[in-house]
């Protein structure tokens, strides 16, 4: 059905309504229902299309954004609950460590208890200072070594050394020392505080990062109780959760919210109901302070470096599906309100492995059995308790002995009995009868025990030996003692402290490496001062990893006394045999001694030994005069070698030199040097243009390759030249020998030696002949002797046979006679 325009009858282009009525038939009820349904379907599709068109495109979230702004409240609430429960479990797992830490704080002796009533009112509350002495001595010693006046950083070049890298190392060292000592104002006092906490708790921490508010790098000290890790964490790097407990004022949190670093959420909750730990209570008691309950009290914020699988920010595989791998994040939560303030990625945007970025450094006093190290509280805490107990007993015993007490009769009255007796005072007493001795019975009080005194001394000595705070009287040692024995005794007495110092050296090295990474990433490209070793626009490129930053402290020497002792022993060794050390060795020994003493401007005190002047080219006559008195001479490339060879050959042919083998050897050796240069010059003239071009190309290539590859190219160039110079050198040598009469002619000494060898051979031949003749004679004598022995044996055998025959005949005769006798006897019968 065609659709025509509707209008009035006067309009020729419009079909009149009457005609449409006549043309269009009246629709049926089924048609109306079907049309209404189609209209509803069409409207629904239009609405759906409009909704699809109205959906905005998902905005691209910057990598360093606070993800709190893009997560829904239910996910944030669940995340906060899970993280806070994990932190609570982590704190509970270190409860025993906190208890030992609190005991160590108690026995520092910084708070004197004057209200003790046991074992009697007014008994002593003194604490033995062995633990406090060990802590303060370690802190003072380590503080001086780890932060010297000129700065704690020195540099070490990684890989090949050249002038550019050496200047870079100098700039890095100067800048880091300047920055730490002058710009990072918190570094000095916080390192001082760290070294005080470290021996008490066994662990202390540093956090190295770039502070946006200060616009500079910082290295903040973190008290051991303010950094919490899981029970199973072996170290900072492998811990899946590291919680930094931060106390922040409301104003500081608001400042971070306005800066966009924290989410702008309302922080509710009562900050006064926070459970203060035993460590905080003990520290407040030592400081004599109590927490304020004013409205501006600091809030506790947990900065948790952990791994999460956030919904909507999962780790995706190559197939576009989530892998289930948890990624590193930094989650900041307000404890009282349990509001998540920030969630930020904690890995580099360009890192395909998404490895965690570490900001923390752990300092350990002694390696513990778990994450936290062991301190003096753990190692000599028991000795401190026992020493304190014995010391209190001794003081209490002395107090009771000086102020005796006892019993008196009930009816006896003493005037002013509540006031103690003063020296020289006699006070009236009203007795009930009997003598005064019968009315007063003093308690049997003893003086302080000598056994307890000895036991106290033994405990204190044991603690001091362990803590390595006993005085090392190096001056009392025998001055004639060998150097090795002195050093061995010194090392034996300080080996515990030396091991602790090595651990501190390692931790400080990690801290400086983290600080160098911050400089490389955040600092402006200009130096704040004139470097003196390069332009001022090379700051960020200087921290490219070619230079390693390490502490200036020596990991093997931890005290100035040890350093001075080592320098003294070195001085004794050098002075005992100065000939083998030379002027330079003596100068260096004195320089190290002054450095160990801490003397400034050593160059103004010491005059370095004169450096030997390099040899200079000399005339042939001067060289001949030196050769005659036995002084070796040096040939130089720029000399006239043929003229020098002729002059030295003439000297060699003189009668004086012919009778002096030493002078001959010196002259020949010097002539050979000139021949070497002469053959090289002649070889250069014979080298063709192709070979010369090849050598020039190799020399240009040698300037472009790294220094470690240059010797190989130099060797190839030398081999090319040697192929031409070696035959020339051989011919020049032969000509020289012929010119001095030592060419093909046989040396008389050789002839004499040959005759001696011939005579020796003749003697050996005669000796061999004599030996052979004597050997044959011995063989004949042995053969004759053997024959005689054989004949002797045959004769003896013949004699024995004859004797046997005679014996047999005699027996036969006796038998015949016996038979005849028997025949005669029986025949007569």
DSSP state of 60: P
Comparing C-alpha atoms, which of 399, 396, 448 is closest to residue 118? Answer: 396
Q: What is the pLDDT of residue 54?
A: 44
727 preceded by cis ω (within 30°)? no
Measured CA to CA, the distance from residue 40 to residue 15 in angstroms comes to 30
Q: How far is CA 650 from CA 576, 655, 698, 735, in A?
A: 48, 11, 41, 14
For residues 789-810, give the mean pLDDT: 87
Q: What is the pLDDT of residue 83?
A: 93
Looking at per-residue confidence, does 446 or 42 come out higher? 446
pLDDT (tens digit per residue) in 713-744: 777 777 766 666 777 777 778 777 777 776 55
Looking at per-residue confidence, does 8 or 675 come out higher? 675
pLDDT (tens digit per residue) in 299-322: 899 999 999 988 888 888 888 888
| Tokens representing residue 102 in the block | 């609190």
pLDDT (tens digit per residue) in 763-791: 888 888 888 888 888 888 888 888 888 88
Residue 252 pLDDT exceeds 60: yes
Measured CA to CA, the distance from residue 746 to residue 750 in angstroms comes to 7
Q: How far is CA 368 from CA 201, 283, 606, 677, 827, in A?
A: 11, 23, 48, 69, 131
Neighbours of 405 (CB within 10 A): 9
At 661, the pLDDT band (50, 70, 90 cuts) reads: confident
Q: What is the pLDDT of residue 14?
A: 41
Q: What is the pLDDT of residue 56?
A: 44
Looking at per-residue confidence, does 221 or 444 come out higher? 221
Residue 814 is inside which H or E element, if any? Answer: helix 748-828
At 5, the pLDDT band (50, 70, 90 cuts) reads: very low
Q: Say if residue 516 is exposed, middle or buried (CB neighbours under 10 Å; 0-12, 13-18, 19+).
A: buried
Helix segments in 55-129, DSSP class H? 73-93, 95-106
Q: What is the pLDDT of residue 424?
A: 54
Q: What is the pLDDT of residue 474?
A: 43
For residues 155-159, give the mean pLDDT: 82
Residue 4 pLDDT exceeds 50: no
Q: What is the pLDDT of residue 613?
A: 73
pLDDT above 90 covers a percentage of the chain that reads 12
At 361, the pLDDT band (50, 70, 90 cuts) reads: very high
Measured CA to CA, the distance from residue 129 to residue 744 in angstroms comes to 94
Among 34-48, 659-673, 692-706, 716-730, which stretch is predicted with the lowest mean pLDDT?
A: 34-48
At 20, the pLDDT band (50, 70, 90 cuts) reads: very low
Helix segments in 353-409, DSSP class H? 376-379, 381-402
pTM of the model: 0.63
Among 110-119, 365-374, 674-683, 722-731, which stretch is predicted with the lowest mean pLDDT?
A: 110-119
Residue 165 pLDDT exceeds 70: yes
Average pLDDT, the chain: 78
Q: What is the pLDDT of residue 564?
A: 79
CB 648 within 8 A of CB 642: no
The partner residues of 219 in beta bridges, in order of sequence, read 208
For residues 462-485, give the mean pLDDT: 55
Measured CA to CA, the distance from residue 704 to residue 707 in angstroms comes to 9
Q: How far is CA 120 from CA 125, 176, 385, 397, 452, in A?
A: 11, 59, 20, 11, 20
Measured CA to CA, the distance from residue 342 to residue 334 in angstroms comes to 10
Measured CA to CA, the distance from residue 23 to residue 26 in angstroms comes to 10
| Tokens representing residue 451 in the block | 């056994």
Neighbours of 334 (CB within 10 A): 22
**Contact partners, residue 244, CB within 8 Å, separation at least 6:** 207, 222, 226, 227, 302, 303, 304, 305, 360
Q: What is the pLDDT of residue 29?
A: 53
Residue 638 pLDDT exceeds 60: yes
For residues 188-208, give the mean pLDDT: 92
Q: What is the pLDDT of residue 826?
A: 78
Measured CA to CA, the distance from residue 262 to residue 260 in angstroms comes to 5
- Three-state SS at 212: coil
């Amino acid at each position: 059905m065609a659709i025509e325009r509707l209008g009035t009858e006067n309009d020729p282009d419009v079909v009149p309504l009457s005609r449409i009525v006549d043309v269009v038939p009246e629709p049926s009820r089924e048609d109306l229902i079907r049309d209404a349904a189609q209209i509803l379907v069409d409207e629904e599709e239009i609405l759906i299309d409009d909704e699809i068109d109205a959906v905005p495109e998902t905005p691209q979230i910057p990598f360093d954004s606070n993800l709190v702004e893009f997560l829904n409240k239910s996910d944030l609430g669940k995340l906060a609950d899970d993280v806070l429960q994990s932190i609570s479990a982590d704190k509970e797992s270190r409860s025993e460590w906190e208890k030992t830490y609190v005991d160590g704080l108690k026995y520092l002796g910084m708070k004197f208890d004057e209200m003790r009533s046991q074992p009697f009112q007014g008994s002593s509350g003194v604490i033995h200072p062995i633990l406090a002495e060990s802590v303060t001595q370690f802190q003072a010693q380590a503080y001086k070594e780890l932060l010297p006046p000129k700065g704690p950083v020195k540099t070490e070049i990684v890989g090949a050394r050249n002038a550019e890298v050496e200047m870079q190392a100098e700039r890095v060292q100067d800048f880091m020392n300047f920055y730490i000592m002058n710009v990072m104002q918190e570094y000095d006092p916080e390192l001082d505080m760290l070294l005080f906490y470290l021996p008490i708790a066994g662990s202390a921490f540093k956090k190295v990062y770039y502070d946006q508010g200060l616009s500079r790098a910082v290295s903040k000290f973190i008290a051991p109780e303010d950094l919490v890790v899981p029970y199973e964490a072996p170290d900072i790097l492998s811990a899946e959760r590291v919680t930094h407990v931060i106390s922040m004022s409301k104003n500081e949190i608001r400042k971070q919210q306005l800066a966009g670093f924290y989410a702008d959420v309302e922080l509710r909750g009562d900050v006064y109901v926070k459970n203060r730990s035993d460590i905080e209570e003990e520290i407040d008691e030592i400081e004599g302070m109590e927490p304020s309950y004013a409205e501006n009290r600091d809030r506790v914020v947990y900065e948790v470096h952990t791994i999460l699988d956030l919904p909507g920010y999962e780790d995706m595989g190559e197939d576009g599906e989530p892998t289930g791998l948890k990624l590193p994040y930094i989650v900041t939560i307000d404890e009282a309100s349990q509001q998540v303030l920030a969630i930020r990625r904690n890995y580099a945007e360009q890192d395909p492995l998404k490895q965690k970025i570490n900001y923390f450094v752990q300092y350990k006093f002694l390696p513990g059995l778990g994450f936290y190290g062991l301190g003096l509280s753990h190692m000599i805490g028991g000795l401190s308790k026992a020493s304190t107990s014995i010391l209190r007993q001794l003081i209490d015993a002395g107090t009771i002995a000086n102020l005796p007490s006892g019993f008196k009769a009930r009816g006896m009255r003493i005037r002013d009995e509540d006031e103690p007796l003063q020296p020289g005072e006699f006070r009236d007493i009203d007795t009930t009868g009997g003598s005064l001795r019968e009315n007063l019975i003093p308690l049997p009080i003893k003086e302080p025990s000598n056994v307890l005194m000895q036991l106290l001394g033994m405990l204190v000595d044991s603690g001091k030996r362990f803590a390595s705070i006993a005085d090392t009287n190096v001056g009392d040692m025998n001055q004639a003692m060998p150097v090795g024995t002195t050093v061995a005794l010194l090392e034996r007495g300080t080996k515990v402290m030396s091991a602790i110092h090595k651990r501190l050296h390692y931790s400080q090295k990690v801290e400086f490496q983290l600080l160098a990474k911050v400089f490389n990433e955040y600092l402006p490209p200009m130096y704040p001062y004139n470097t003196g070793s390069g332009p001022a626009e090379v700051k960020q490129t200087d921290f490219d990893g070619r230079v390693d930053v390490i502490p200036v402290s020596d990991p093997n020497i931890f005290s100035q006394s040890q350093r001075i002792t080592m320098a003294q022993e070195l001085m004794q060794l050098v002075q005992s045999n100065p000939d083998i050390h030379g002027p330079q060795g003596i100068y260096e020994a004195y320089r190290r001694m002054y450095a160990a003493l801490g003397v400034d401007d050593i160059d103004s005190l010491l005059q370095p030994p004169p450096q030997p002047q390099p040899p200079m080219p000399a005339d042939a006559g001067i060289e001949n005069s030196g050769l005659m008195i036995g002084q070796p001479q040096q040939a130089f490339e720029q000399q006239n070698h043929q003229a020098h060879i002729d002059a030295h050959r003439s000297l060699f042919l003189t009668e004086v030199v012919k009778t002096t083998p030493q002078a001959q050897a010196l002259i020949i050796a010097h002539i050979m040097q000139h021949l070497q240069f002469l053959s090289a010059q002649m070889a250069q003239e014979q080298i063709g243009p192709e070979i010369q071009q090849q050598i020039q190309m190799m020399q240009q290539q040698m300037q472009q390759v790294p220094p470690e590859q240059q010797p190989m190219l130099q060797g190839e160039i030398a081999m090319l030249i040697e192929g031409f110079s070696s035959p020339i050198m051989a011919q020049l040598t032969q000509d020289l020998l012929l010119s001095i009469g030592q060419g093909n002619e046989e040396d008389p000494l050789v002839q004499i030696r040959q005759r001696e060898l011939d005579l020796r051979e003749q003697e050996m031949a005669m000796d061999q002949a004599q030996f052979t003749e004597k050997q044959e004679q011995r063989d004949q004598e042995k053969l004759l002797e053997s024959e005689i022995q054989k004949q002797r044996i045959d004769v003896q055998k013949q004699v024995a046979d004859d004797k046997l025959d005679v014996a047999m005949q005699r027996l036969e005769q006796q038998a015949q006679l016996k038979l005849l006798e028997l025949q005669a006897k029986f025949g007569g019968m």
